[in-house]
Structures are given as C-alpha cells and as structure tokens.
Structure 1
Amino acid sequence: MTTTAPATATPQVVAQAVPQAAPHRATPADTTEAQLLLRLLGALLREDVVGLRTRTTTVDRPDGRWLRLPADDGDALLLPVVEDGYQSEYAARLPLLARESDGRELTTHDEVLGALSALADPVDRGGFDAFAEECRQTLATMRLHADTADEVAAALTAGTLAATRGADPADWTGLAGGLAYDTLAARLDHPVYPTARGRSGLDESQLRAYAPEFHPRFALRWIAVPQQDLTVAGGPAALPAAWPTPAALGLPELDHSHLALPVHPLTVGAPLREALSAAGLAGRAVLAERPYLDVVPTLSMRTVAVTADPTLHIKVPMATATLGLRNRRIIRPGFLADGAAGQRLLETVIAREPRFQGVILHADESVYAHAGHELLAALCRRYPAGLDDAVVTPLAALLAEAPGGRLLIDHLADRFYGGDPIALLDAYLRLLLDWQTTLFGYGIALESHQQNISLVLDRGPAGDTRVRLLFKDDDSPRVNAARVRATLGADAPLGFDDVRALCDDDRPLTDMFTTITLHLCAGSYAFGLARHGRAEAAALLELVRDRLTEAVERLGTGPGEPGATLRAQVLDAAQLPVKAMVSAGSLLSKERSGAADINKHYTTGPNYLRRVEGSP
C-alpha cells in the first residue's frame, strides 16, 4: 500500500546568536566528495532524516541561512541551506555540517553520516553504516567517471564504440544510436537519489566490462534448463530467432530435453549456484562454457541490447543493487507477467484513443522465460520497427553532457527546434502530460520515469518535426480497478500478479503521477534547464503548469471527474508527495519505514506549481 507521510512542519526562524565557528570552506579539498555530499545532505533534509526538517530551527547569519539540529548531549549540528523549491523547501548550500560547540566542520560523507547516526534510533544505525558504504562505492564510481570522461567522449564521437554514427550527438539515430545516449545518461546524477551512480559490490574492472557508462560489448552466458522446469510465455516458439539451442552452446546432448536461459556474466559463480540450488535445479541445469550472443548494456545495466539486432533487448537479473541497497536488480517471475499485463492494458487504452496511435509507442514485453527464481529469468523486449532514421533517446540523457561539453538537449534543439531547447521541452510536455492524464482518466498511473521513456524525434512527411514517446517496463503501475472497469468494461485486462498494482481510490495514482510524471519527467527539466541558464525557473515552471492545466481540463474538472482530482491533489495542493528513497531503500528496514514498496514510500514537499493568492 502506498505510504504518504503527513505534511511536515516548516522550521522555525529563530533570532538568536550562534557561536562563531571557524571560517567555512565553500567545498572540501575533494570536489567530487563535495558534489556527492551536497546531494546527500539535500536528500537527508528532504526526507527529514533524524528530524532535519521537523526538529530544526532556522538561524540567519551574515553568510546565509542555517538549520540548527539539537543533539542529546547539549551540542547541536548546523546545516547551511538555501531556498530550493524542487521537492524540498531548502537544499544544502555548502557541503558540510558544523558542530555548534567548536565550529568543527564535517566535510565527508563518513563524518556526516556518523554524526547523524549518533542521533538516530539505535536500531537504525546499521542502515547508516550500510548507506555509508553505498556512498563510498558511489564516490569511487564518480571519480572513475571523471577520470574517464575524455576517453569515453572521444570514443563515442570517433565511432570506436558500438552504436554511434558521426560526431554530432544529434545524428546518433535509431535504436543503435540510442545506446550511446544511454552511455551519456549513465554518467549523469539522478534528479533525486544521491548515490544513483553506485552499484553495490562492483569494482572498476567489472564496471568497465559491463556498465553502460563505458559502452562495452560482451557475450551473455547461458544455462540449459530442463524444459519441464522452464516457463516460457507463448511457448518456446515465441523466443527470438537469436535464441541459442543447447547445441549452439556446445551442449548437443541436451538439445531435446533442455532450453537455454541467459545469465548475466556477473551472476555466474556463487549467486548462480545458490539460485540453482534454491530452485531445485542443482545438477540438472547445466552452465554452458561457451558464451553466446554479443550485447551492449543499456542504461538499466541488467537489460542488454543485442549488437546484431538492437531492436531486441534482453533483461536478465543481476546480483547487485542500485538506488538503494534493498533495491536489488533481480527479476521476480510475477514482474514478468505484470509487465505483459500492463502492456495489454495500455494497448486497450490506445485502441480507444486514436490521437495516440503511432505517437505513443510501446516495446513488446509479452515474451519471457523463468525457472521460478528471481535470478533465473529473462525478458525478451522487442522494439517497434521503423525507427532507424529517428533519434531515440531516454529522457534521462537530455540534461547529460555530450561530447564537447554542451547538453544533449541543446544538440537536439539545434537539429529539430532551431536551437531552442525550451521549444523542444514544450513539445515534449504537451504529449507526455496529455498521455499521462488520459491514462489517469481511465484509472491508470504508470511508474514511467526518465529511464523508461524514450523521446523519439524525426521529420514528418512534410519535413516538420515529429515528436513521439516510446515506453517500456510497465510492471508496476497503480490501477484504480473500479474506474478501469467503468471506462474499459468489465472484461478489462487487470490480471496483475502483484496485488499492490490494484487499488480502490485515486490517492495511489496521484502519488505516482506526482512523484514520477511531474517531479521526474517534468519538474526536473524545469529546474534543470534553469540551473543551466536556459531560462528563468519561474517561466519554465509556468510552462509545466500551463501544459498540465490544459491536459487536466481535457479530462473535465466537474465534481467527481478525474480532472478535478488532479487539479485538487496536484495543481492546487499545498504540498506534494515526494519519494523518500534513501530512507526506504537504504537507511530503514521495511518494518521501520512501514513501506510496503520501497519505490513508493513518500514524504511531502512544496508544490512548485501552485499559484499563490494574488499571482497572475
């Protein structure tokens, strides 16, 4: 069940003297550590970790505003802040915490998490220790990215890595070119989660060999599984032509009794042995010694594109975690069935909405296989044909730095919008918000974040720019079953394995719409483009509000209509739900956080779309 925390109090402004600390450095000596620490402090503040929002008072000093957090020993911690507005009233202004008593500055993530852990409930301190390790892994990855930026940029523009076409990123077309955009996106921080670039347990050699930020090629490993132990949606004949037989893997004696199942190379070893034992397949499933099928990792890393046919992606589980140590990159068999169910539901909606046909595109995720274990599964994702001449980029890459130093969105704007990135944003928002509010009208909200939506740009028959959106991964929607049945009929496809997908009111839908579609897919670009100086934040937020208002009004805003719900709970709400990803994903156990789903656990933040009284 969706968890939404109550609105939190605004820190009280206190006119009081604060002991003068030593001069405050703008950044620690390590600028990469400073970058991580600013994001870390912002996330902890946003999520009210140890009361950074609700237990603090604000203190104004000559250099700016500080939040004062009292400690049990009579001392206090001071956090320098600046007004923000994107999911939090304040953000960290400097990468440090200061002790009030002696002015000592804590300028590393280890020091900061150690000080905050001392204020936490003792049962939570293990989570702080684990998160500190997550930060260490992320810091190492960030340094690696910085050290290899020129190397990878040169390789992309020179075409020495797969899936690139030319020096200008706006010319990297087709699904093959999209893999180069994945490389750019993998080197960009997540809009919210501070340690998103870290992958637990992987060292530099493994990242270079298998991570999307290095755009490597490698071959999948395979196991031959007894046919009776493998579930294949649609039957073995539905598997792609590229799928090997046991004989192709060097196991001809198993050709008539076994089927092949791909395994990520990083899963081979102890994780695979343990999975086979747990599934009762030890001694019966055979790991082929021969790697087979060259692939390139996509942004999700566990999903790989077949080099010889980039329209075919294969998702395989991995024994690692991202976006929180509890957010493991496994594939539960039920998720595969739910992805297919979500696809059928969306196809039913599009069949009733002609304006989205051929404009909202979707990968086919109906073919999959599993052996009843979260590390013994695979999804065969087939992308639509006809995209060879189009730019196909994940939304996550738009604000990434392209080779040469400019943002990718600037390159795309040059090619398609006369050099105006705001015009590109406007066209994208019109389509995105029209589609997502239409789904809401049917009783559906998608967990379609920046990684799961690709922007498709090309020229139409008349030479004008055409904008489309390409979706994937629809295994975790929120569905108001009563409204879906009312709009699509009693036989609407609602066969979800995960009972959390279905709900009986709109609150889980508006929570997901807000935290995913609004915050990550709209608001992040308004604030991000403002941060990069492309326009004023106020103008960009007004653009988001205008496009959302238009979309909401198309639904109807009369009493009881879906548009009225979106207006009240999104456009005009005093506060909006905000994902508490660090708390639910790393710091707190599920028992402590109360999160039934760590990706749908919320706190609250300011509504940056709300018009205050007297504003135009």
Structure 2
Amino acid sequence: MSAASTLALRVLSTLIREDVLGLRTRGLLVAMDDGPWIQLELGGRLLAVAVAADNFQAEYGARRPLLEVNGTELTTLDDILAVLRELADPEDRGGYDTFADECRQTLATMELHDEVQGDVLAGLAERYGDDPTDWTGLGGSLAFDTLAAFLDHPVYPTARGRIGLTSAQVRAYTPEFHPTFQLRWVAVPGPAKADWPEWWPTTADIGLPELTDHTTLPIHPLTEVVDGILGPIPYLDVVPTLSTRTVAVVQDPRFHLKLPLATATLGARNRRTIKAGVLVDGAAGERLMHEVIAHEPRFLTTILNADEQMYYESGHELFAVLLRRYPEDLDDALVVPLAAFAAQAPSGRRVIDHLADRFYEGNVLDLYDAFVTLLLDWQTTLFGYGIALESHQQNTSVIFDRVDGVTRIRLLYKDNDGLRINRQRCADRGEFTDPRMFGDDDRALTDLFTTITVHLCTASLAFALADKDMLGILRTRLTEAIDRLGPDGASLRADLLDADRLPVKAMVTAGTLLSKQRSGAADINKHYTTGPNYLRLAQ
C-alpha cells in the first residue's frame, strides 16, 4: 500500500475514533455488499466511510482510504479535509487547515522513509552488526531508536511528520537517519558547575576568550539563540535519540542532552520547547521514584532511572538544557526502547523476534509475559502510592542480559515530569511546580495508567503483532497485579478491568483541530474520548 493510502487510512480511523463532527456517535453503521460503512448526514451532504472492526481503541477503523461525499469518492487527504473543514464550526476551520499541512508534511516524510529505509538499515548492520541482539550498551540503544523512528505512533496518525522542518533538516537532525552533528554553544554569566562531565567545553573550546566568570551551555543547531554569547566554533559530536530534541554524546553515550526545538510533533500545539518548571518537575519525579523503590526493595535491581538532577532553565522556552546521565554497567546488556519492539530489523524480521530468539528460546509470548509482569508490578505499585507515570513506549527501555546463564530483564525510565498524583495517598507533593499533577481522587491516575501503561506500552504491541494470546496474558498479569494492591486497587479495577469503555487519547482534537478553549483540554496530552474495553473482550 502506498504511503498516501496508509496515511489516509490512519487519519480517517483517527477521525472516527475521536468522533470528529460526530462520525462515531451520530454516524449510522450500514451493511453494504462489500462490508460495513459509517454514514453521516451533515450540512446537506451524506458522508460515508468504509470500516472494519478494530477493537483496540475504537470499535471501527477505516478499511478503504477514501471518504464518500454524496456518492463521490474523495481519495486525497487534501480533498477529504477540505470537505470536513467546510462542515466544521467556522471557529475551528483554522485547525483543519493546520492539520492538512501536518498531513502533507507527514506524507512527504513517509515517502522519504520508503525511499531510504533500506539503505539506513544496511548502514546500521554495517556499523553495529547484522543481528540487533549484538547492539549492546547505550551506544547500541541509539540504533534501536533509529529502527523505531520508521514506525507509526499507535495513536497519532501524523507522528512521523516534523512540523516546520525541511527535507534537508529531517535528513540532518532526525533519528531515522542516524546522523552525527555538532552542537552550538553559548556563554552565559555564572561559574561552570563543578560536576559537569570532563568533556564539557570551556569558553575557549567554543572560540570565545577565556571567560572565567561564564559557563557554556549547548544550543541545538535548529534553535534560535535567545541568550548568551554565541561561540563561533561548534563543539561536541552528538546523535539524535527517538525524541529528536534529545541527543546522545558520541564519545560517551551514557550522557544525553535534552534541548528545546522550535518544532512540534503529535500536534501543532505539542511544541518541542522546554517550558519553565518542566525540568524541575522531572527531577522531582525521579527523586519520588527512588523514594518508592526504597520502600519496595524488590525493585532495587529491576527498576532503573536515568539521573535527571542536572539542568539549566533560563525562563525562556527555547533556552534550557537537561544533562541526563544513565546508569553504569550497561555495556554488555541490550538496552531496547519499548517503541522499537515491533520495528523492522536489518534482517527484515521484527526486533522482538530477534530478542525472543536470543533470550527466550524463540518464544515471543514468554518474552512478552516476562516484560508485562515486571512492568505491571512496578506501575501498579506506584498506583498504590497514589502515583501514575506518563512513561510511554519512548520513555521506557527494556534491558536484557544473562546472569549465570539465566535471562535477566530490567526496566529503565526517563522523563518523569508528566506524572499524576492523588494527594490523598501521596505525601510527597511539595517539590513540583505544575498544579495539574495533583488531584484528590484516582480518576486522573486511572486515565493515565490506562492510556499509557496499558494502551501504549502493552496492548499496542499485542495489536501490532495481531496476537490475541498476548491480550490474554496482559489481562491475567494485570488482574494479578491489581489483586496485590488490595483495597488500593479498587478504582483501577473498576475503571480498567471492569469498565465497559476505556479512556482513549483524543490527540488530533486537542493537539491541532480545536483550540484549548474549544476542546476544554487542560493538558493536550491528557484529553480523552472513549473506546471499547478490549481487556473484557480478551476475557
């Protein structure tokens, strides 16, 4: 299927799932000779979409890449979105224009991916080896990021687009091309931090006079300089990670630098800048994780967190830096971002198949069982403390190695700034700056647990692999984990295991189509519609 058809199917399915213009709730399901269609009469026009059963986050998704309007087939997203724009409230039409631009950029990126993916995979095989289970250490983890960058997001249809970047910039700075480039640096007043790594440049290293009363800070090459004295010499080779704005230091991949970018992904309003307080909250979140682990010693050796305590915030969203430091002693282990599990390896097989061959005698279900057992034990334990993490598949890595010939599996987390806390059950709430983190009940926690830990981290893999046995494993392990919580798990059982419908992210609606005032979204990443409870179907 062409990139254009694939994207059209994903966009139409998203519009149905998010009930844009009432497609899901006001549309009529009609049986036709070729299968079911959803029909909706709106503004004197009869809209029709051919659908098929989905059941992941919506009952139905599009099965043909077209919208029928009064019997005429529209096959391009430009034409489809133009009709929907006309039918939308006049106040919302600008959002449809923006989304049409997103779709065009995404299509260009997808076509570029189709053109280069074979060469990129061949280059990774030449650099790291033919078998991805030989891509050990934090340096090898960057190659898995590149594999994952060719996958579509489980929810957002235009996630492969980079709003505002040219084709040349995509090639030069995004993870799917695995490029190496150098950062720009500025000097700002203040002494250098004593615990900067040894490779951190002096003002002389970046081409400025020796300024003992200044320290140097990195700027991404795509970001405008808004403060400090710009050094004329670029410095420090880096490779982009899956998030694009975070880069790994080539000479020591234990260190990552998170830098703001004036672009957006997963929605036009989902800017890749770094607002004041975000790094403060991420550091506080990491400390909170360590506090929980100290009370739950079984996780001391299985749950690892990147050190995110060193950062600089200027107050300007385009001038900040987080120096992320990963744990030691991972050189001989495989550090695989969860987002890469379903990705295509250079062999043409999926990454998870290679992992199963190396560590689970070829049994993918055994690997999945071990992974979800550990992940759900950890996440439900946090829930018992009144905490839910936004630890999606990009922020969660799985560490595989062998100890005395026996497979060992661990989890590695980063970016703990988007969590939700029930202040009635969590005493630690004094170090965070974002008031949206706190509530007085479990509803925000169960929503986040469902949409992140269940939808994105566990169920999306089962649906990507079309493996119903995985859903059975997921429900069993989730039930066991919630049972261990006793009374503290009651809301999670009610809102997740036993609910008729589950919360589903409405990311296109909140991130692009509607303004915050129109959508009512306090946080565009936590704005929800609902979908079927596939866990009950699995039962």
Asked if TM exceeds 0.5, the reply is yes
**Aligned partner of 2:158: which letter?**
T
**Aligned partner of 1:76: which letter?**
L
Q: Is 1:334 matched up with 2:272?
A: no
CA distance in 1, matches of 2:92, 2:110: 27
Report the 3-state secondary structure (helix = DSSP H, G, I; strand = E; otherwise coil) of the residue aligned with 2:140: helix
Report the 3-state secondary structure (helix = DSSP H, G, I; strand = E; otherwise coil) of the residue aligned with 1:190: coil
**Aligned partner of 2:348: which letter?**
G
Give the corresponding residue for 1:48: 19
Give the corresponding residue for 1:280: none
CA distance in 2, matches of 1:99, 1:188: 31
- Runs of 4+ more than 6 Å apart: none
2:149 to 181, 186, 193: 186
2:77 to 97, 101, 109: 109
CA distance in 2, matches of 1:569, 1:497: 28
CA distance in 2, matches of 1:353, 1:541: 28
Give the corresponding residue for 2:171: 208
Give the corresponding residue for 1:237: 194
Unmatched segments (≥5 aa) in structure 1: 1-26, 229-234, 277-284, 486-491
**Aligned partner of 2:338: which letter?**
L
Give the corresponding residue for 2:412: 470
Q: Is the 8 A contact 1:341 1:493 kept in 2?
A: no
CA distance in 2, matches of 1:455, 1:113: 39
Give the corresponding residue for 2:389: 446
CA distance in 2, matches of 1:493, 1:382: 24
Q: Is the 8 A contact 2:368 2:470 kept in 1?
A: no
What is the RMSD computed on CA atoms of the aligned residues? 1.2
Report the 3-state secondary structure (helix = DSSP H, G, I; strand = E; otherwise coil) of the residue aligned with 2:222: helix
Residue 493 of structure 1 and its aligned partner are, at CA, apart by 5.5
Give the corresponding residue for 1:578: 504
CA distance in 2, matches of 1:80, 1:427: 38
Report the 3-state secondary structure (helix = DSSP H, G, I; strand = E; otherwise coil) of the residue aligned with 1:224: strand
Report the 3-state secondary structure (helix = DSSP H, G, I; strand = E; otherwise coil) of the residue aligned with 2:88: coil
Q: Is 1:527 matched up with 2:458?
A: no
Give the corresponding residue for 2:49: 79
Deviations 1:452-510 (A, max 9, x none): 000100001x211101000000011001122012xxxxxx3541011111111100000
Residue 251 of structure 1 and its aligned partner are, at CA, apart by 1.1
Give the corresponding residue for 2:220: 264
Residue 214 of structure 1 and its aligned partner are, at CA, apart by 0.4
Q: Is the 8 A contact 2:257 2:321 kept in 1?
A: yes
Report the 3-state secondary structure (helix = DSSP H, G, I; strand = E; otherwise coil) of the residue aligned with 2:139: helix
Residue 421 of structure 1 and its aligned partner are, at CA, apart by 1.2
Q: Is the 8 A contact 1:37 1:96 kept in 2?
A: yes
Q: Is the 8 A contact 2:423 2:429 kept in 1?
A: no
Q: Is the 8 A contact 1:182 1:298 kept in 2?
A: yes
Deviations 1:504-557 (A, max 9, x none): 110000000000001001110111111xxxx4x2x221111001001001111x
Q: Is 1:518 matched up with 2:518?
A: no
Aligned counterparts, 1:13-92, within 5 A: 31-73=2-44, 75-92=45-62
Aligned counterparts, 1:266-415, within 5 A: 266-267=222-223, 271-272=224-225, 275-276=226-227, 285-415=228-358
Report the 3-state secondary structure (helix = DSSP H, G, I; strand = E; otherwise coil) of the residue aligned with 1:610: helix
In the comparison of the two structures, how many residue pairs are matched?
539
Q: Is 1:94 matched up with 2:64?
A: yes
Identity %: 61
Give the corresponding residue for 2:366: 423
Residue 93 of structure 1 and its aligned partner are, at CA, apart by 1.0
CA distance in 1, matches of 2:475, 2:488: 17
Deviations 1:394-417 (A, max 9, x none): 100000111121111001111111
CA distance in 2, matches of 1:482, 1:493: 10
Q: Is 1:568 matched up with 2:539?
A: no
CA distance in 1, matches of 2:195, 2:60: 52
Q: Is the 8 A contact 1:416 1:465 kept in 2?
A: yes
Q: Is the 8 A contact 1:417 1:423 kept in 2?
A: yes
2:159 to 196, 199, 204: 196
Report the 3-state secondary structure (helix = DSSP H, G, I; strand = E; otherwise coil) of the residue aligned with 2:426: helix
TM-score by length of 2: 0.98
**Aligned partner of 1:94: which letter?**
R
**Aligned partner of 1:116: which letter?**
L
Residue 611 of structure 1 and its aligned partner are, at CA, apart by 5.4
Q: Is 1:507 matched up with 2:433?
A: no
Structure showing greater radius of gyration is 1
CA distance in 2, matches of 1:181, 1:106: 38
Give the corresponding residue for 2:536: 610
CA distance in 1, matches of 2:307, 2:265: 25
Residue 252 of structure 1 and its aligned partner are, at CA, apart by 2.0
Give the corresponding residue for 1:592: 518
Q: Is 1:123 matched up with 2:86?
A: no
Q: Is 1:482 matched up with 2:407?
A: no
**Aligned partner of 1:36: which letter?**
L
Report the 3-state secondary structure (helix = DSSP H, G, I; strand = E; otherwise coil) of the residue aligned with 1:221: strand
Report the 3-state secondary structure (helix = DSSP H, G, I; strand = E; otherwise coil) of the residue aligned with 1:527: helix
1:542 to 455, 472, 480: 472
Which shows bigger deviation, 602-611 or 212-221? 602-611
Deviations 1:409-450 (A, max 9, x none): 001111111111111111100000000000000000000000
Deviations 1:537-592 (A, max 9, x none): 2x221111001001001111xxxx22111111100001110000000001011111
Deviations 1:144-184 (A, max 9, x none): 0000011101101011xxxx2x2101110100000000000
Q: Is the 8 A contact 1:572 1:611 kept in 2?
A: no
Report the 3-state secondary structure (helix = DSSP H, G, I; strand = E; otherwise coil) of the residue aligned with 1:609: helix
Which shows bigger deviation, 121-130 or 476-485? 476-485
